[in-house]
Structure formats: C-alpha cells, structure tokens
Amino acid sequence: MNKGNYTDAQLISSIKAGGNACDQAIAWIYRKHLDAVLSFIMARNGSREEAKDIFQDAVLSLLMSIQEGKFEGKSSLSTYLHAISKNLWYRRFRRSITADEYKASLNKDEIELGDPEYLMVDQDTEAQLQGLMDSLKDKCKEVLTMWAQKYSMKEIAAALGYSNEQVVRNKKNHCLKELKELVRKNPEVRNLIGELLT
C-alpha cells in the first residue's frame, strides 16, 4: 500500500493500526491534499507559511479524530479534512474574515458536517512537554514517543537498534516508570494534561 490509491476505509484502518502503516497513510494524505488547501488559503491572503501551518494542524486533527474513534464517516475523509482546514483558517484569521465569508467558503458537504472539534496544543504547553521528555535519559524519549504513536515493538526494535521485542518491552516499562516519577515530582505538568484532555 505504498504509493497507490487508498480508499477511505484503507486509510482509516492504516491510521488506526499506527506505526509504519499509519506513516504511509499520513504521507499519502499530505501529498494528495496539500495543494488544494494551500491554494484555498493563499487565495484569501494567507501566506504560504501560514497556510502550511494550518494544513499541518488540520491533518493532525484528522489523525486524532480517526484514532480516537471520533470520525464517524458521515462524510469522505477529503471533505472532513477540507472542512477542518477552512475552520482553522477562519479561527486563526478571525480578525479579517467575517462569519458570512467563512460560511460562503464551505460547500454543501462541508456545511453538513458542522463545526469540527479538535484539540490544539499551544506553544507553551508544547515547550513544557518537550522539556520534560528531553530530561529522560538513555533513548527513553525515543522509545516512549514511538510507543505512544503505536509503533509495534518490532518496529521500535528495528528503528532503534534493539535486538528483540522483549528488550523493547522491558525498556518501555522502565522508561515509563521513570517518566511516571518525573510526573509525580512535577505536579504542574499534571495541570497541563488536565486542561487539555477530557
């Protein structure tokens, strides 16, 4: 399923599977829809960088919706992605876009979807999170980040040079304990989590 055509069902199952399969699906979606979304935003006075930023956040939201089972299949993935992109564009440029302009930019399918929901991590939170992860020793950050993205133990072993899956499993548990202790000692981090996740 490398560079061929994906159906929506195939994309969804690859994304839910996580790991390398998910990576390939993400890359495919990105390449397929980049130009359309960039054109939309740049035609409405967005810069290329702003447009890319919005598009990347939209793809991320799409991914999360699928992985958390929130994407209900009421529309095609394409429509959903475009709806999120337009909604993000509207929210970020609220000062210069009227609500009417926004509504006029949606096609029939996008209107039917209603306002998409998603969770955005702001830069402060991102910085604090990175700080915490960076303080882990000895490849723990890499192991845990890959595990959290649902790479299989086998994929993690291959990527990071561990000899087998059991080694990875032990490493993951060891690192998770370490992180758990860090969180215990840094209660303010738990506030971050509390705010963002319901």
Which residues make up the interface to another protein (CB under 8 A)? 3-5, 23, 26-28, 30-32, 34, 52, 56-57, 59-60, 63-64, 121, 125-126, 129-130, 132-133, 144-145, 147-149, 173, 176-177, 179-180, 183-184, 189-190, 192-193, 196-197
Tell me the closest approach of the beta carbon of residue 44 to another protein, in angstroms. 17
- CB closer to another protein, 31 vs 139: 31
Cβ distance to another protein smaller for residue 56 or 96:
56
Question: 187-196 and 123-134 helices cross at what angle (nearest 10)?
Answer: 140
Based on CB atoms, which residue is closest to another protein, 64 or 97? 64
Would you say 97 or 125 has its CB closer to another protein? 125
DSSP calls for 32-72: HHHHHHHHHHHTTT--HHHHHHHHHHHHHHHHHHHHTT---
Closest CB 52 distance from another protein, rounded Å: 6
Smallest separation (angstroms) from another protein to the CB of 89: 17
The Cα 18–Cα 160 span in angstroms is 17
Judged by beta carbon, residue 158 or residue 193, the one nearer another protein is: 193
CB of 111 vs another protein, minimal distance in Å: 22
Closest separation between CB of residue 97 and another protein, Å? 24
Alpha carbons 162 and 153: distance in angstroms, whole number: 10
- 179: burial class by Cβ within 10 Å (0-12, 13-18, 19+)? middle
Length of the chain: 198
In angstroms, give the least distance from the CB of 58 to another protein: 10
Residue 57 burial by Cβ neighbours in a 10 Å radius (0-12, 13-18, 19+): middle
Indicate the residue among 67 and 75 with the shorter CB distance to another protein. 67
CA atoms of 172 and 50, how far apart (whole Å):
37
109 touches 116 (CB < 8 A): no
